[in-house]
């Protein structure tokens, strides 16, 4: 397959935020993408990127950052094959459509357009078929926006996918213990997290209760029919740097045992296996049998931060399963997830790029039976 030989020019919007910086870092070592421009929505145009992120207390080593000037987040004059957006919600709502109208593929980590009926909201291992919405968008707008889900949503959906495939889902309760980095920088005040927990994260429960239903929804008549089950979420912020912990209780459609649930989790492999996506873990879900795992410090970096770790399985009724999952919120849940989505777009021929395409159809066939299962509950 000739994929590896293609190169894609990448632009990053919101490049100075926590997620934006992480995307830039990941792009620097990426085999497919070349960073050609970095944009910030503020008035820092022209300032060297290195200096903008080398400010006191930034979690970035300035001298390693790319030597590019910051640009305004405007499509005029931009030449690129893909635009990554790590903008904040309000800026994203205004800016992303402008890049779409200018013909760019926009891969966004922002929440602004996630629930827009035109926009595919994609966890590549779960609903790659939803990217057909990107094709319809391109038809209407010239470019398209494809959205990476909320960080907790991604962890929840990946942990649920093997359970859903094996037993079906009816109801999901999730209580989160989320890391500080999820709020960006400066984000949460230290006085709110030293010897304390915040029992509220604005907008987070709503996202966790709606996004999974779109992701697990069925592609029908050019739109998504949401999954029929329900999610109820409660979100907390805890004094942890990285790694969202999710305590999940599931009511399944079909009966299950702890042993069967464990086997389902251990057996599941990425359906993207044949595509050779650089960021795709072979096993998106890792099961750990120890009674005290997953833990943020021990498990967040599993598979380079791209795998979700699941443990503490407990079956307490014929259709009732409890488990605890951990997702690295700024890697799999944000920057890494966004990159993986861009890789999937590239591998399915949706990005353009500067060398011969391998053709979308062939690649699409590489995704094992994924589109056929999307309409299951």
User: Residue from 291, 361, 369, 372 that binds a second copy (CB under 8 A)?
Assistant: 291
Q: Contact letters (x/-) for a second copy, 181-220, by CB under 8 A?
A: x---xxxxxxxxxxxxxxxx--------------------
d(CA 345, CA 4): 14
- Smallest separation (angstroms) from a second copy to the CB of 283: 14
- Tokens 């907790």 — which residue? 152
Report the nearest approach of a second copy to the CB of residue 294 (Å): 7
Taking CB under 8 A as the rule, does residue 48 contact a second copy?
no
Q: Binding to a second copy (CB under 8 A): which residues in 164-183?
A: 173, 175, 177, 180-181
> Stretches 6-14, 36-44, 147-155, 316-324: which one binds a second copy (CB under 8 A)?
316-324
88 binds a second copy (CB under 8 A): no
- Among residues 74, 71, 88, 76, which one has the least CA distance to residue 35? 71
Nearest Cα to 278, choosing from 27, 20, 12? Answer: 27
Is the separation of the CB atoms in 297 and 199 below 8 Å?
Answer: no
Neighbouring C-beta atoms of residue 177, cutoff 10 Å: 19
Q: Are 241 and 184 in contact (CB under 8 A)?
A: no
| Radius of gyration from C-alpha coordinates of the chain | 20
Strands 218-220 and 82-85, bridge-based pairing: unpaired
Residue 282 lies near a second copy (rule: CB under 8 A): no
Q: Parallel, antiparallel, or unpaired for β 308-317 and 70-72?
A: unpaired
Cα(332)–Cα(346) distance, rounded to whole angstroms?
A: 18
Residue 306 CB burial class (10 angstroms; 0-12, 13-18, ≥19) = buried
Written as six digits, the tokens of 292 are 């005290």
DSSP letter for 193, please: T
Annotated active-site positions, please?
Answer: 151, 244
Map the footprint of a second copy across residues 229-268, applying CB under 8 A. 232, 234, 236, 238-241, 245, 247, 249
Q: Does 59 bind a second copy (CB under 8 A)?
A: yes
Give the CA dihedral 195, 184, 121, 230, nearest 10 degrees. Answer: 20
56 touching a second copy, by CB under 8 A? yes
Letters for 9-38 (x = contact with a second copy by CB under 8 A, - = none) are ------------------------------
Select 54 or 362, whichever has its Cβ closest to a second copy: 54
* Residue 312 lies near a second copy (rule: CB under 8 A): yes
Nearer to a second copy, 171 or 360 (CB): 171
Q: How many residues bind a second copy (CB under 8 A)?
A: 52
Site for a second copy, rule CB under 8 A: 54, 56-57, 59, 61-62, 173, 175, 177, 180-181, 185-200, 232, 234, 236, 238-241, 245, 247, 249, 290-298, 311-312, 316, 320, 322, 324
């Amino acid at each position: 397959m000739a994929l590896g030989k293609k190169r894609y020019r990448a632009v990053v919007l919101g490049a100075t935020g926590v997620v934006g910086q992480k995307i830039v870092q990941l792009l620097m070592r990426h085999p497919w993408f070349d960073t050609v421009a970095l944009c910030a929505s503020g008035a820092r145009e022209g300032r060297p990127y290195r200096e903008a992120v080398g400010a006191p207390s930034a979690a970035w080593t300035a001298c390693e950052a790319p030597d590019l000037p910051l640009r305004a987040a405007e499509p005029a004059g931009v030449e690129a094959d893909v635009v990554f957006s790590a903008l904040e919600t309000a800026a994203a709502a205004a800016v992303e459509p402008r890049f779409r109208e200018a013909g760019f593929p926009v891969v966004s980590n922002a929440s602004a357009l996630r629930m827009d009926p035109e926009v595919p909201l994609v966890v590549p291992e779960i609903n790659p078929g939803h990217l057909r919405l990107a094709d319809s968008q391109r038809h209407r707008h010239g470019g398209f926006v494809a959205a990476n889900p909320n960080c907790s949503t991604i962890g929840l959906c990946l942990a649920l996918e093997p359970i859903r495939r094996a037993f079906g889902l009816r109801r999901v309760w999730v209580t989160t213990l989320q890391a500080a980095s999820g709020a960006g920088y400066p984000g949460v005040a230290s006085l709110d997290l030293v010897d304390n927990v915040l029992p509220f994260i604005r907008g987070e429960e709503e996202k966790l209760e709606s996004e999974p239903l779109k992701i697990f929804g069925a592609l029908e008549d050019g739109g998504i029919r949401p999954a029929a089950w329900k999610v109820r979420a409660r979100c907390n912020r805890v004094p942890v740097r990285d790694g969202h912990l999710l305590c999940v209780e599931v009511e399944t459609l079909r009966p299950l045992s702890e042993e069967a649930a464990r086997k389902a989790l251990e057996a599941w492999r990425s359906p993207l296996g044949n595509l050779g996506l650089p960021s795709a873990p072979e096993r998106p879900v890792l099961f750990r049998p120890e009674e005290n795992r997953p833990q943020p410090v021990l498990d967040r970096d599993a598979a380079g931060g791209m795998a979700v770790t699941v443990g503490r399985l407990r079956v307490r009724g014929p259709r009732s399963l409890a488990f605890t999952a951990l997702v690295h919120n700024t890697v799999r849940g944000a920057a890494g997830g966004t990159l993986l989505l861009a890789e999937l777009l590239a591998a399915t021929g949706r990005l353009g790029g500067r060398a011969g395409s391998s053709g979308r159809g062939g690649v699409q066939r590489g995704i094992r039976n994924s589109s056929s299962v999307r309409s299951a509950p």
